[in-house]
Amino acid sequence: MDARIFPLLDVSRADLEAAVGEPIVSAEPVGGGLTNTLHRVVLASGATVVAKHFPPGNEAGFADEVAILGWLAGTVPVPELVRADRERRVVVYRWVEGETLDDLRRRDPAAFAALAEPLGRLFAALARVEPLRDDDWDVDPLIFGARVKLLEGRARARTGAALADALAAAYPAWRDRLAWGEPCLVHGDIGGRNLLVHGGRIAGLIDWEAAATGSPLVDAGALFRYTGRYDDAFRAAFERGYRLAGGALPDDWYRASRLLDATRMIDILDEPRDLPSVFADCRVQLARLAADLVA
């Protein structure tokens, strides 16, 4: 649903060799990212890596990605960090074999369904990771900002008054449920394109530059944003895996997490840019959420 945040960078072969620190055999662009410019690079040594160039203006994302890949190694399936060049803002990590969760869902629904419980275990593990920084997390500014945009901002016109009013009314009513949970490290953009799977297992969780401090419900809401992709059996298996891994979930976590995630879609709808297809997608998901909140 998202449009690119930064344009793709013009990266030459010489740039890639400088980034990886050795001669290369081949390189090809990797699609899917919305912020950075990625290449799959085969090194002369035979190894395959990803060279991820961060654009000017995303220095914080570069620093967080480097820190998190090192910090989570061995505890969460993140790519192995090979090299980081602060001057060029390039992160190099081992190529993770596999396909995205989205691609698996389209190709093999049964294999996709079998990953629901492992995904629950992964999310429970993430909920135990302390925040990267000592940032305070408070749901009230999120609620306030979302309601202002729905009642007075561009998001209201793009959503429609009836849907905007329904969502704006829901936030105060759900405030205590949205505030649930101890703050933890959240991925910030977890979803089917950032989860890599291979051989029936979750092989990699990539793209950490949007990581932040938040509730465990933040990542759960992002995963389940597209409700039509996950049936009742998938959600039940996810919850089972989460709890079996020692994770705690509040009552009505599914709707609460999606309402929390909706603040991001409301932010998108309030952007100065005109993104018709993106806005249409947001409206569909928000309408489904509003209907579920009163069901």
Give me the chain's average pLDDT, please: 94
The number of beta carbons lying within 10 Å of the beta carbon of residue 289 is: 22
DSSP 8-state secondary structure symbol assigned to residue 5:
S
Judged on CB neighbours under 10 Å (0-12, 13-18, 19+), 257 is buried
Report which secondary-structure segment, H or E, holds 201. strand 201-205
What percentage of residues in the chain have a pLDDT greater than 90?
85
Average pLDDT (215-230) is 96
Which strands, in side-by-side order, build the sheet including 90-94?
Answer: 24-30, 37-43, 48-53, 90-94, 81-85
Q: Are 98 and 203 in contact (CB under 8 A)?
A: yes
Report how far apart, in Å, the C-alpha atoms of 206 and of each of 37, 167, 221, 255 are. Answer: 14, 31, 18, 26
pLDDT surpassing 80 at residue 4:
no
Query: Domains (ranges, CATH) in the chain?
Result: 13-94 (3.30.200.20), 99-293 (3.90.1200.10)
| pLDDT score for 295 | 76
Hey, what long-range contacts does 167-176 have (CB within 8 A, 24 or more apart)?
Answer: 167/262, 167/266, 167/286, 167/289, 167/290, 170/259, 170/290, 170/293, 171/143, 171/146, 171/147, 171/259, 172/143, 172/147, 174/255, 174/256, 174/259, 174/293, 175/139, 175/140, 175/143
| pLDDT score for 31 | 80
pLDDT surpassing 50 at residue 20:
yes
Judged on CB neighbours under 10 Å (0-12, 13-18, 19+), 226 is middle
Q: How confident is the model at residue 9 (pLDDT cuts 50, 70, 90)?
A: confident
The C-alpha atoms of residue 62 and residue 20 are separated, in whole angstroms, by 16
Q: For 183-222, write each residue's pLDDT tens digit.
A: 999 999 899 999 999 999 999 999 998 899 999 999 999 9
Q: Among candidates 63, 99, 65, which has minimal Cα distance to 79?
A: 65
pLDDT surpassing 80 at residue 253:
yes
| pLDDT score for 57 | 84
Average pLDDT (132-156) is 93
φ, ψ dihedrals at 172, nearest 5°: -60, -35
Residues with Cβ within 8 Å of residue 210, at least 6 apart in sequence: 61, 187, 188, 189
What's the pTM? 0.92
What is the token pair recorded at 88?
Answer: 């060029």
Q: For 60-74, write each residue's pLDDT tens digit.
A: 889 999 999 999 999
pLDDT surpassing 90 at residue 136:
no
| pLDDT score for 215 | 94
pLDDT surpassing 50 at residue 106:
yes
DSSP conformation letters of 134-190? -----HHHHHHHHHHHHHHSHHHHHH-HHHHHHHHHHHHHTHHHHT-S--EEE-SS-
pLDDT surpassing 70 at residue 1:
no
Average pLDDT (145-166) is 98
Q: How confident is the model at residue 32 (pLDDT cuts 50, 70, 90)?
A: low
Q: Among candidates 47, 49, 52, which has minimal Cα distance to 64?
A: 52
| pLDDT score for 3 | 59
pLDDT surpassing 90 at residue 36:
no
